[in-house]
Structure 1
Amino acid sequence: MNIISNAVRYNKEKGEILLSYYETQVDDRHILFEFHCKDTGVGMSKEFQNHIFEPFTQETGGARSVYGGTGLGMPITKKLIEKMGGTIKFESEKNVGTTFMVQLPFLISADMKQAESQEDDVSIEGMRILLAEDNELNMEIAEFLLTNAGAEIIRASNGKEAVEAFAKSGVGEVNVILMDIMMPVMDGLEATREIRTMNRSDASAVVIIAMTANAFTEDKTKALKSGMDDYLTKPLESEKLIRALSRFL
């Protein structure tokens, strides 16, 4: 935070600050994060650069001197980074700007490795999904996420179309129905009840998952009581969506 604070404090009017980071896996147990903070500020003189990490040291006689400070920020920052096993470097040019580079190593825990391994195993490849969504943009986003993960999509723009699409499909052809709750013509709750009462063997077994912007317990209870199996809140996140679907494979 001290590095970013300095980038703001010593920047020029209408100046810029660019933050970026990179990660490199060193070995099976360690990963290295590198953070960059680049500003278009007043920069530092060559002389001051040699003393920046010394306590109570401040540049005098230049643009930086008007901002004040204790002169302890950078020494403390360097100490903290070194205690974490990291390094801090910088490049600066007077009246051009400064870039700080911080490298921090982290240990990859066994739990993280296990989680990553489990994520790799998650797949909805070949899953046939009936997607009921009245908002065209939401439809496009959900369809992109799902088809990108290998699923096949049947589209419906309201609850009535979802009921008709399921009725026209072969028994067992639809694996999951993603059902928006708030839709015109027929809402998702009513559409779910219609599907559940159809006279076909998969009507009670097909997985129906609610999609809604409402995250209240009351809404979730209504969805489950209507016959839905699960409940997702919008905006949909790729990882959560695919993980929820994979539970029903």
Structure 2
Amino acid sequence: MSRTEVNDSLTRNTHVGHKVSLRDFVKANLGLVFLLVVLVLAVIVALLLKSIANVKKTKALNIELKERQEELVAAKKQAEVASEAKTSFLFNMSHDIRTPMNAIIGFSNLLQQNLDNKERAQDYIHKIQQANDFLLSLVNNVLEMARIESGKMTVDSVYADMHALMEATCSVFEAQMQAKKITFAYTLKIEHPDILVDKTKVREIFLNILSNACKYTPEGGCVTLEVRELPGDSAGIAVYQTTVTDTGIGMPEDFLPQLFEAFTRERNTTTSGIMGTGLGMQIVKKLVELLGGTITVASKLGKGTTFVVSLPLQLAEKEQGDAANSKDELDIEAYKGMRILLAEDNELNAEIVITLLSEQGFLLEHAADGTECVAKLEQAEPGYYDFILMDVQMPHMDGYEAARTIRRLDDPVKASVPIIAMTANAFEEDKRRAFEAGMNAHVPKPFNAEKLYAAIHEVLGK
């Protein structure tokens, strides 16, 4: 080899040791370093984003937790209020039920001790009846409030003559006003007496207001009722503004905002000596609102009270009234001698009905439950019973099932016998359920004799 070839070979194959610097490495691996830096930055950004997301999630959880805590606090307060209201309701109900019950028990005992004294016995019977009426009004008011609060109450508008409606309402209190020497006057300044209205609810509104006016006005006082007709917001509508004013004991002005609350009285039965449920004015307000009207009250202690009720009512034609009044009048004499099958499991209730209707000339047979009622009807000749008075809640077979069973009988005469429900299930849905079971009429308990006769008249159609 030549010298030049030897030197080249030595140069190529001789290792000279030296340290590689970071700069040398970067220069030699620029692409790899760039990728490494990008990867590190990506990891850092991902960690930051995850941290930020965790922070936001934590904040959201804290907010949600706080909202739930607030909801729980609100629910707790609402439950406490409801519990207090329930306790107050039961306390007031207990007190107001015991008041007439105490009178009924006390006067019943006195009646037993004075049966030979006709004058005293009649007085005790009268007072027992007053306590009975109050107890029934309390139960009816509670049921009325339950129906209103549940939203099951509807408006049933029919033809009415405003003059006749208010006259009939006011006449209820004329004897009471005279007995207390209260001057009672009512006037109507209206142009259109023919209206479409829910008469029952309007009567209930003003019966409550006038009842309070009579109760809380002392002897020698004055009670007035005035109805004015005002223009309505649309054609065919008029606003009837009724103002009831008394010169009674009145109420303090700071009590007025509580007047329409349940079981609220400025003075209770014990302090005032006047029986009342404390539900009447709340029912009045609910009924007024249900009819689309307004009610306001002004009063001063010792100066009297004024209620103003404004009801928007639809105007009617006189011909509608003539058609409504053309119905046959009730004549119970036409039904004497008819045979009734009474299905009633309560012996006392059965005795009352049998005694009352027997005195009117009806012939009655008693079945203790629905099963016995159906059996008696099946065993009798077709047409033997003119109609059935059917209780609903009975053992073995209730009234609904008994009515359905009767309607499925093979004999068409027996299957079509008129059935009148006479039951303590007094709600509108109970009435509807009775009709769905095949009954022809519905009379609530405690039954009113006139309503029962009217139902008989309606069913038998004579």
TM range (shorter): 0.5 to 0.7
Structure 1: gaps (5+ residues): 1-17, 20-31, 39-72, 81-113
In the TM superposition, 1:156-235 aligns within 5 A as: 156-235=367-446
**Deviation, structure 1 residue 247:** 2.3
CA distance in structure 1 between the aligned counterparts of 2:434 and 2:419, rounded to whole angstroms: 10
Find 1:145's aligned residue among 335, 338, 356: 356
Q: Are the structure 2 counterparts of residues 172 and 235 from structure 1 closer, same or farther at C-alpha, using a change threshold of 3 Å? A: same
CA distance in structure 2 between the aligned counterparts of 1:202 and 1:241, rounded to whole angstroms: 23
- Higher RCO, 1 vs 2 (CA within 8 Å, ≥6 residues apart): 1
**Deviation, structure 1 residue 216:** 1.7
CA distance in structure 2 between the aligned counterparts of 1:188 and 1:76, rounded to whole angstroms: 51
The code of the aligned residue for 1:215 comes to A
- The sequence identity of aligned pairs, in percent, is 42
Pick the structure with greater CA Rg.
2
**Deviation, structure 1 residue 118:** 3.4
Answer yes or no: is the 8 Å Cα contact 2:344–2:390 preserved in 1: yes
Does residue 347 of structure 2 align to residue 136 of structure 1?
Answer: yes
**Deviation, structure 1 residue 203:** 2.8
CA distance in structure 2 between the aligned counterparts of 1:33 and 1:218, rounded to whole angstroms: 36
Answer yes or no: is the 8 Å Cα contact 2:426–2:444 preserved in 1: yes
Find 1:122's aligned residue among 332, 338, 351: 332
Q: Are the structure 2 counterparts of residues 76 and 198 from structure 1 closer, same or farther at C-alpha, using a change threshold of 3 Å? A: closer
CA distance in structure 1 between the aligned counterparts of 2:220 and 2:397, rounded to whole angstroms: 64
Answer yes or no: is the 8 Å Cα contact 1:175–1:207 preserved in 2: yes
The code of the aligned residue for 1:209 comes to I
**Secondary structure of residue in 2 paired with 1:154:** strand
CA distance in structure 1 between the aligned counterparts of 2:454 and 2:427, rounded to whole angstroms: 21
In the TM superposition, 1:1-249 aligns within 5 A as: 35-36=178-179, 118-119=329-330, 121-123=331-333, 124-249=335-460
* Backbone CA RMSD of aligned residues: 3.4
**Higher percent of residues as helix:** 2
TM-score (norm 2): 0.30
The code of the aligned residue for 2:396 comes to V
Structure 2: gaps (5+ residues): 1-122, 127-173, 182-217, 225-324
CA distance in structure 1 between the aligned counterparts of 2:362 and 2:343, rounded to whole angstroms: 15
CA distance in structure 2 between the aligned counterparts of 1:146 and 1:247, rounded to whole angstroms: 17
Answer yes or no: is the 8 Å Cα contact 1:197–1:203 preserved in 2: no
**Higher percent of residues as strand:** 1
The aligned residue for residue 22 of structure 1 is none
